[in-house]
Structure 1
Amino acid sequence: MTTNLGSPTATDFLDNLKNKTAAAHKNLEQLSVSASILSPDLQIDDYCHYLALMYEVHKSTQEHVFPLLSAIFPDLEERKKMHLIENDLDFLNHKITKSAPVFNHQNLTIPFALGILYVVEGSSLGGRFILKNLETVPVLSNQGGISYFTGYGNKTGSYWKQFLSVLTNYQQEHNVEDEIIKGAVYAFDRIHNHFLNTAKNEN
């Protein structure tokens, strides 16, 4: 079953999800770590720090969220991004240091996990915007070190629509809007804390 994302029911749900996560989303975007990668004077060490932070976000997602959702999303394997960040950091000679799991919620439910994945997948859309800034940095402009932000490439829009269709369909079938929203707010808050509390690794 494919959900019509333009239907009133789907639109109301997605609008509500966006509106109720707006404050948490804004708090994350306002962190200096988040702002640094959009700076016209982007420093490579700040870029590496951001990538290392996002590596832990995706590691936690793939270990704790993906297993719950494997029966719902047939394309989860294609949505894995840890290897892309590893490639970029290898190119930039930056080592990843381990930190605590970003998503350590006990007894995750499927709708709560869907809310987390909504945030993580949504970052791919913003990544296309960030990519334009990265391509102005000399060491990155030859396509090396930017595979994570290149992501799905010209398929980014279609991947996002596919995700929203599955998300909306699940919500309509199970009536779990509140739990999905809670998961999304939790994800934004946990990533915010992760960004705020993880020191930059100088190497």
Structure 2
Amino acid sequence: MNLETSSKASVAIKSATALAHAKTEKALIHHIKCIQTEREYGRLLSCLYAFNAPVEQLLEPWVKPVLADYDERRKSNRLLHDLHTLGLTTPPAYKRLPVIKDLFAALGCFYVLEGSVLGGVIIKKIIREQCPKLPDNAFGFFSGYDQQNGLQWQKFLAQFDSLLNDADKKSAAITAANDCFKQFEANINDFYAWDGN
């Protein structure tokens, strides 16, 4: 019996995506640690929005009907608010996106997007220390659910586990989550290469 078939979906997917998660995080954190100006913070927000917004559009037809709080969990609205707070326009969407064929793949990708909230408080602190003059209201995305981050994550995982209740569903979610991490990492690298950083 392997981990993927013998455990809850949330346990299996965390283990099975650990490498892809670490690679994506490494690509992103390099640019986060370089932020010294409002312009550089705006570039980071643009990079994140350009991936989150089109992926959310792909996921919505699948995920919204099964997650009652889907609208509250969307990240692109918060990113757009932060961009507009800095006086920036909406960036174009990335073209390299994960493949979504069914609900279970959609849930795997949504797991990736939703998990981004967990490190937000730490990232916000890092950016604040590096660039203290940024406006307080330009951190909607990295603030996540404020003091409710842990509670909201556990609430999501409970729904995630109940929907992915057999090996085939878990496998589809894991494959899609790994693809989502892979495409996100590629888009981060492409964005900063094109942007000259």
Same-fold call, TM cutoff 0.5:
yes
In structure 2, give the amino acid aligned to 1:37: I
The runs of at least 4 consecutive aligned structure 1 residues that moved more than 6 Å come to none
Structure 1 residue 44: deviation in Å? 2.8
- Cα 1:160/1:102, change in 2 over 3 Å: farther
Report the TM-score, using the length of structure 2 for normalisation. Answer: 0.85
Question: 2:118 is paired with a residue of what secondary structure?
Answer: helix
For 1:28 and 1:162, locate their aligned partners in 2 and report how far apart those are by CA, in whole Å: 25
- For normalisation by structure 1, the TM-score amounts to 0.83
| Cα gap change, 1:28 to 1:155, in 2 (>3 Å) | same
Moved more, 14-23 or 170-179: 170-179
3-state SS in 2 of match to 1:135:
helix
Q: Quick one: distance in 2 between partners of 1:36 and 1:56? A: 16
The equivalent position to 1:63 in structure 2, one of 57, 60, 64, is: 57
How many Å separate the matches in 1 of 2:183 and 2:98? 9
Matched, 1:118 2:111: yes
Which one has a larger percent helix, Structure 1 or Structure 2?
2
**For 1:32-65, what per-residue CA distance to the aligned partner results, in whole angstroms no more than 9, with x for missing partners?**
x4322245x6333332111111112221132110
> Would the alpha carbon gap of residues 59 and 85 (structure 1) be closer, same or farther in structure 2, given more than 3 Å must change?
same
1:166 counterpart letter in structure 2? Q
**Structure 2 vs 1, CA of residues 175 and 97 (structure 1 numbering), >3 Å: closer, same or farther?**
closer
1:25 counterpart residue number: 21
Partner of 1:37: 32
Q: Distance in 1 between matches of 2:81 and 2:177?
A: 28
Give unpaired runs (5+ residues) of structure 1: 1-7
Counterparts in 2 of 1:131-150, with a 5 A limit? 131-136=124-129, 137-140=131-134, 142-150=135-143
* Identity of matched residues, %: 23
**1:81-96 correspondence to structure 2 within 5 Å:** 81-96=75-90
RMSD: 2.3
Matches within 5 A, 1:109-188: 109-136=102-129, 137-140=131-134, 142-172=135-165, 175-188=168-181
- With over 3 angstroms needed to count, the CA separation of the structure-2 counterparts of 1:104 and 1:23, relative to structure 1, is closer
Deviations 1:50-85 (A, max 9, x none): 111111222113211021112210001111222221
1:89 alignment partner AA: L
Q: Is the 8 A contact 1:56 1:99 kept in 2?
A: yes
Output aligned runs, 1:8-19, within 5 Å. Answer: 9-10=7-8, 13-19=9-15
User: For the residues of structure 2 that align with 1:75 and 1:52, how far apart are their CA atoms?
Assistant: 25
Inter-CA distance 104–19: structure 2 relative to 1 (3 Å threshold) = closer
- List runs of 5+ in structure 2 lacking aligned partners: 1-5
